[in-house]
Structure 1
């Protein structure tokens, strides 16, 4: 009786296992593609924009740090910026802490340049 049950179970498994596994591979590839376009690519784009922002800083720019400190760039070293937050008050911050450049004219010029590049 037990041997008959094993024989039947083996027969059913052989019938179901005949399907190819390409459907699973296609689903995995689609999931990776969705993750790439929804998560990885936008993050890379933001990182590129942040790097451009940091590289374009110059003395006199009004900036905001990640901690919310507003100041004017008073000095630039390789990885350290000196910000003047009040008259005669300077603090040192890492370049990577800068999240926003508040110079409206430069923003407008950069936007115009980007629009021209996209049209070409």
Structure 2
């Protein structure tokens, strides 16, 4: 017999320990994801839920759409928000994003609104009004000329 019989060898016990070590990076990644992503997000969601449940009349809020207003009425699922003295809207409680400190809405002054009203008044004068204005200006010039000649 030229060829000897080949027998399989038993696996060494060092490979079993290597299997656990190969899972260690995966476990580390899961722990990092939990600490950096999952836990802070759950904490924010809990704070948001508590804030929405604690809403009451008179609170100043910002919605997810960016609307600022004063809470007028709170029901189980909806909130009525006053956005202007004559305008109220009804939104879902869950769409309230931020609770503002008291008095914030009064401290916010719309700067663009005053500029628009000034420019609108000057540019939308009717033609007859313009004609009257030019007539008054020429009358004023005539009166000034007469006054100057009388003084001499």
Fold similarity call, TM over 0.5: yes
Rounded to whole Å, the distance in 2 between the matches of 1:93 and 1:61 is 14
Displacement of 1:28: 1.2
Alignment of 1:39-54 (within 5 A): 39-54=37-52
Structure 1 runs not aligned, ≥5 long = 1-13, 106-120
**Structure 1 runs of 4+ off > 2 angstroms?**
17-20
Q: SS state of the match for residue 101, structure 1?
A: strand
Of 45, 59, 63 in structure 1, the residue corresponding to residue 57 of structure 2 is 59
TM-score scaled by length of structure 1:
0.70
Q: SS state of the match for residue 66, structure 2?
A: coil
Alignment of 1:1-120 (within 5 A): 18=15, 20-104=18-102
- Larger Rg, first or second structure (1 or 2): 2
Displacement of 1:103: 2.1
Rounded to whole Å, the distance in 1 between the matches of 2:40 and 2:102 is 25
Rounded to whole Å, the distance in 1 between the matches of 2:31 and 2:24 is 11
Aligned residue pairs: how many?
94
Please report the RMSD computed on the Cα atoms of aligned residues, expressed in angstroms.
Answer: 2.3
TM-score scaled by length of structure 2:
0.56
